[in-house]
A and B are shown apart, each in its own frame.
Chain A
Amino acid sequence: DAGVTQSPTHLIKTRGQHVTLRCSPISGHKSVSWYQQVLGQGPQFIFQYYEKEERGRGNFPDRFSARQFPNYSSELNVNALLLGDSALYLCASSHPDHSDSYNSPLHFGNGTRLTVT
């Protein structure tokens, strides 16, 4: 089975532009989360979607938005890019069941490395 797939793998943008990052979860996984990892830091939670509904949001400005589609794939959009948005953007999927929905392990994709110049 394919793991979590993200596209593109690398991206270079200039300040002020917008970007769309894409993620396909593992087949059967209904939950998708997005994390930002700046060099030298651990991943920071941005969003989580479950069954197409936003389930959680981290401390990121409104320039960051996301959505989940009926096939459970997801997009992360960032508007008005800043130099500080340069990071590895990680998508993770999980398959929470009713009995233990908050302890399902996350499976991460390879990430999209975004460079803002």
Chain B
Amino acid sequence: RKEVEQDPGPFNVPEGATVAFNCTYSNSASQSFFWYRQDCRKEPKLLMSVYSSGNEDGRFTAQLNRASQYISLLIRDSKLSDSATYLCVVNMLNTDKLIFGTGTRLQVFP
């Protein structure tokens, strides 16, 4: 079983739609959680950290469910520029090693 699992997609949605991605992780010792965004042939960039209480940044909302070991990302009012691969990332207690999922590809169309 992969340590971090994501649906690879692609998710094809029209502009203005709301889309949600889920991610599950296998190690209950995971401590920190992030969503990174990666554009085609570019480097990953931090989108947002994920906190236990849930957090929001503009159109983006991240949720963490430790009991079920899953993380979600909700994107409201999708823009064409949101088209990218979204990587779910966890790291373990007291390590600097980030574990990435394979990513979920989002394509927003006009």
- Which A residues contact B (CB, under 8 angstroms)? 31, 33, 35, 40-45, 48, 50, 55-56, 58, 90, 94, 96, 101-103, 105-111
Q: Within the complex, what minimum Cβ distance (angstroms) separates B47 from chain A?
A: 10
- Which B residues contact A (CB, under 8 angstroms)? 4, 8, 31-32, 34, 42-46, 49, 87, 89, 91, 93-103
- Most chain A CB within 10 A, of B8, B43, B45, B103, is at B43
Give the residue of A43, A50, A55 whose beta carbon is less than 8 angstroms from that of B44.
A43
Are B100's CB and A43's CB within 8 A? yes
Are A90's CB and B44's CB within 8 A? yes
Q: Which chain B residue has the least Cβ–Cβ distance from A100?
A: B32
Are A111's CB and B96's CB within 8 A? no
Are A56's CB and B97's CB within 8 A? yes
Are B96's CB and A50's CB within 8 A? yes
Q: Write out the residue numbers on chain B whose beta carbons fall within 8 Å of the beta carbon of A111.
A: 43
CA A101 to CA B32, docked complex, whole Å: 12
Q: Within the complex, what minimum Cβ distance (angstroms) separates A25 from chain B?
A: 14
Q: Which chain B residue has the least Cβ–Cβ distance from A104?
A: B96
Besides A101-B96, A102-B96, 12 other A-B contacts (C-beta < 8 A): A35-B100, A42-B102, A43-B100, A44-B100, A90-B43, A96-B96, A102-B31, A105-B34, A106-B46, A106-B98, A110-B42, A110-B43
CA A90 to CA B89, docked complex, whole Å: 15
- Most chain A CB within 10 A, of B45, B98, B101, B103, is at B98
Q: Write out the residue numbers on chain B whose beta carbons fall within 8 Å of the beta carbon of A58.
A: 97
Instruction: Using A42-B103, A102-B32, A103-B32 as known contacts, say yes or no to A108 and B45 having CB atoms under 8 A apart.
Output: yes
Q: Write out the residue numbers on chain A whose beta carbons fall within 8 Å of the beta carbon of B32.
A: 102-103
